[in-house]
Structure 1
Amino acid sequence: MKTTCLTLVLFLSLIQVGSSQTKPNIIIIYADDLGFADLGSQGSVKDIKTPNIDLLAKEGIRFSAGYVTAPQCSPSRAGLLTGRYQERFGFDEIPDGPLPLTEITLARRLSKAGYVTGQVGKWHLEPNPVTKNWITKNIPNAAFSNGLYKEHIPDSLTNLYMPGSRGFQQYFTGYINDYLVNFDLKSNLLRPSGENIHQPGYRLDIQTDAALQFIKRNQKQPFFLYLAYFGPHVPLEATKKYLDRFPEKMPERRRYALAMISAIDDGVGRINEMLKQYGIDDNTMIVFASDNGAPLGIDKEDLPYNDPKGKWDGSLNDPMLGEKGMLTEGGIRVPFIIRWSKLSKGIVYNKPVSTLDIAATAVSLAGLPKDKALDGVNLVPFLSGKNTVSPHDYLFWRFWTQTAVRDSKWKFINAGNKGTYLFDIDKDPEEKNNLVHKYPEIAEKLKGKLQDWAKQLVPPGIPYKNLRDQEVGWYNYYLRN
């Protein structure tokens, strides 16, 4: 296994990028509810088939301790695209949306650096039926039923929060077959403000096709593409082409998840081939990650793939503990890969990093000045071997009634009325041994760091209260004091 120590010559060549050299293209590929286990390069399970994404890891750097900022899609995406802890602007969970207009997205930053910016696939940062506070403030006399707004939110309001208004110059935004777009799959530019279209076909192939059209149109200038695949998130669906790759006996929901992940992997392969075709693969940084861990429904019940009651999306977090919605490793530790020709090949980087770092790294590579508002760090010096310390002194989380903090070795979780947990993550990444009573002084130190961080948030503080019912079920099943 290679180490993370590279040469000083490599480091000096890296810091020139964004100034005298051509600015690198940047592609962020974000899977949806993909668990820690479900890439072949993770080495956790044997039934997965992801040769193209595995090639990214072989040709780049795989982060064994890569984290998202939340175990849920919308806040995780808010943290990714702003480079800031989303709790700083009150976006702890989906109902806290939409992404405030005061927040600067990575797309807007890179636009100022001369990049063409594009978004494809899932967005989920606009107002939706559960964003009750925003709806109450912006729609007079709004009525709710079971916590949901039943009327259509006016497009004139929603569009203020969509990609085209948040720094993305070109977009193909949607989930399955209905999209808001300003370009089509025949390489035509449409009305800049966007058009609503129905696009026939399989959703993951559609999203790949749209990404390829963006690259084809913009390959002669620096571009930033945020490709947010809607998979393997439910509703599960796959074509015969992908299902036939998994003939073995297995749970039905697992087969559909594997097929969907295989479709995403094919998309990554097609993107990589196009980059090579245009001779820009060496000058393109690709980041692959998931927005959170897999939802397991605790017992991974194998309901029919099209049953809307199914909680498990078929993905797995092995060997990490817990699932989507939890601040255990299974909820927030995800597959995380960066491939760029200026970095070394086949490296496994073991120090904790965050999706917060993607924005800070991209800003630096684009030649933009460092912004203290960003909570992430430029990873390049750490990956070059010039800086051998951990990129972060601490990483923090707050979600529902749970809060957590990790330093280079220790992780502390405060789970409301269920108590506190302390794990030596270096020795015990599966969080089997709660050491809070063995090392109370370490627990108190980390608790203090967590409290100091939480004072900066909106609203400030740690939520000392009873866990929600769903959290109680998780902690009763996965953890014991």
Structure 2
Amino acid sequence: MKNSVFFVLVNILLCACGASANAPSEAEVFSSAHTTPNVLMIVIDDLGWSDVGYNQTTDLLETPNIDALAQQSLSFDNAYAGAANCAPSRAVLMSGQYGPRHGVYTVSPSARGNAKARKLIPIKNQRGLKTQVITMGEALKSAGYATGTFGKWHLGADPDKQGFDKNVAGSHQGMTFHYFSPYNLPNIKDGPKGEYLTDRLTTEVINWIKTPKDSPFFAYLPYYTVHTPLQAPEQVIEKYRKKGIKGEDAKYAAMVELMDTNVGRILTMLQAEGLSDDTLVIFTSDNGGYRTTSFPTPIRAGKGSYYEGGLRVPLLISWPGKIKPGLDHTPVINADFYPTLLTLGKAEQPNQALDGVDLTDLLLNQQAINSRDLFWHFPVYLQAHHARTDQGQDPLFRTRPGSAIRSGDWKLIQYFENNEFELYNLANDLAENNNLASQKPNKVAELKAKLKAWQQQTGADIPTELNPEYDADINQKMIDKILAKKTHH
């Protein structure tokens, strides 16, 4: 392949010239002018920040293939999803835009949870990306890429209409109810009875990548796994039971292992087909994991929350010979993928605002990007999933309507119901246990002004209409009742 020839030439030059002053350094080799890469983007559904072996705080889960990929990748330990649950995060990724620009804030409806506990009428949710939004798939297709999506789309009825030549199992549907065939999913033919969906999607993407093409490919692989329902072959579940892992945790561990096995299948195929050196691989999750099987110690909360456990995700980016492996602490967000792939894929900027930043120089040349703030907007309600473990602001909701900003090591969360603020210093309080808002009024004022300016710039809808069904006394009684149960347990 091209990159292999390049390194042979470099070695010949080094041998001929010895250790001359003109010999390229390792950094210069890695930062050479890039060819247009193939792109494989793997997005796992609901995989928690610490649910991968290289980033684990326990030995519950086994991910040897992802751990091996991490050794060959630039790993980001401050990587964020664009939202804390499925559809809005994917909308940010595929549009390159923050939520207020496209209006996908949650999985509809936006008024979730007990009506008597909702003080405000939430902003109505946009279901899927409007067709006028130019997706990452459309942008890369216009640049000559073959485009395929394999798995959960969740942004429209058919990704064929949103920039993808090939679609397997993608639709408006946000989850599968059957990981074993028959799947009862749109846009995929059932396989043999008992076939496992994660295996099948992997086979589909492998076969598509191996099909001869006259152009580079963009393979988007948004697995349905490890989203509920927790289903896996019994023999894999039993492996974890024998390790002493019980109940749903054993099923979750089995799903994670099978996901990892299939990632390994794809990476092995790229190597066997001579495609590894010409393929940029991105591995990440769409949001944090559920706090019933995924406990992302030491960070707080999980899917649906705007604390770190709902937003912080694993992120690996690999391109052998081009991106030097290592660990990077730069705060990045999945909106950054769009402008980065435009540059790497030599695609034109679409006629729409892009909120992410181009990471090309960071990836290829190890040049720090300019410091910038990250933002989230969630003007809707998301009910508690498991009140005793959710670690939300209160036990009735994973999130009440609000916005958030990360600025340097500081994070400010604004809640719209009572215009309350929480301030955390992530450098020394990653668990977000110590709300410093009352102690640091100047920092609150600074970040509040930045957040307000961003809300105005993006046209963020902020709910202000009071909900006539709301009952403050009932709301507090429900909170007190759950807290009493938690104390008892």
Q: TM-score, normalised by structure 1?
A: 0.77
| Aligned residue-pair number | 399
Q: Larger Cα Rg: Structure 1 or Structure 2?
A: 2
| Structure 2 residue matching 1:94: 3-state secondary structure | coil
Counterpart of 1:271 in structure 2 is 266
Q: Show the 5 A alignment for 1:62-461.
A: 62-95=75-108, 96-126=126-156, 161-174=157-170, 175=176, 176=179, 177-181=183-187, 197-200=189-192, 201-218=195-212, 221-246=215-240, 247-296=242-291, 312=292, 314-370=293-349, 373-384=353-364, 387-390=367-370, 392-399=371-378, 400=380, 401-417=401-417, 419-457=420-458, 459-461=460-462
Counterpart of 1:43 in structure 2 is 56
Deviation at 1:319, TM superposition (A): 1.6
| Structure 2 residue matching 1:337: 3-state secondary structure | strand
Deviation at 1:162, TM superposition (A): 1.1
Deviation at 1:461, TM superposition (A): 3.8
Deviation at 1:198, TM superposition (A): 2.4
- Change in 2 beyond 3 A, CA 1:407/1:459: closer
**1:429-449: CA deviation from partner (whole Å, max 9, x where unpaired):** 221221112221111111111
What code does the residue aligned with 1:367 have? K
- Change in 2 beyond 3 A, CA 1:465/1:357: farther
Structure-2 separation of matches of 1:338 and 1:386: 13
Structure-2 separation of matches of 1:458 and 1:287: 31
**1:144-200: CA deviation from partner (whole Å, max 9, x where unpaired):** xxxxxxxxxxxxxxxxx411111100111154423444xxxxxxxxxxxxxx63234
Determine if contact 1:116/1:221 at 8 Å carries over to the other structure: yes
Structure-2 separation of matches of 1:326 and 1:199: 36
What stretches of structure 2 of length at least 5 have no aligned partner? Answer: 1-24, 109-125, 171-175, 381-400, 484-489
- Change in 2 beyond 3 A, CA 1:473/1:280: farther
Determine if contact 2:139/2:348 at 8 Å carries over to the other structure: no
| Structure 2 residue matching 1:198: 3-state secondary structure | coil
Over the matched positions of the two proteins, sequence identity in percent amounts to 33
Structure-1 separation of matches of 2:274 and 2:30: 24
Structure-2 separation of matches of 1:120 and 1:220: 21
Structure-1 separation of matches of 2:463 and 2:82: 16
Counterpart of 1:129 in structure 2 is none
What code does the residue aligned with 1:198 have? D
**1:321-348: CA deviation from partner (whole Å, max 9, x where unpaired):** 0111111001100111111114445411
RMSD across aligned positions (CA)? 2.6
Structure-2 separation of matches of 1:424 and 1:463: 29
| Structure 2 residue matching 1:456: 3-state secondary structure | helix
What code does the residue aligned with 2:264 have? G
Determine if contact 1:451/1:461 at 8 Å carries over to the other structure: no
Q: TM-score, normalised by structure 2?
A: 0.76
What code does the residue aligned with 2:372 have? D
**1:7-38: CA deviation from partner (whole Å, max 9, x where unpaired):** 6624651xx32xxx3x1011111111111110
Determine if contact 1:416/1:465 at 8 Å carries over to the other structure: no
What stretches of structure 1 of length at least 5 have no aligned partner? Answer: 1-5, 127-160, 182-195, 297-311
- Change in 2 beyond 3 A, CA 1:234/1:406: same
Determine if contact 1:11/1:381 at 8 Å carries over to the other structure: no
Determine if contact 2:377/2:460 at 8 Å carries over to the other structure: no
Determine if contact 1:33/1:315 at 8 Å carries over to the other structure: no
Deviation at 1:237, TM superposition (A): 0.3
Structure-2 separation of matches of 1:94 and 1:457: 21
1:9 to 9, 28, 32: 28
Structure-2 separation of matches of 1:11 and 1:380: 12
Structure-2 separation of matches of 1:41 and 1:178: 35
- Change in 2 beyond 3 A, CA 1:462/1:424: farther
| Structure 1 residue matching 2:255: 3-state secondary structure | helix
| Structure 2 residue matching 1:235: 3-state secondary structure | coil
- Change in 2 beyond 3 A, CA 1:363/1:344: closer
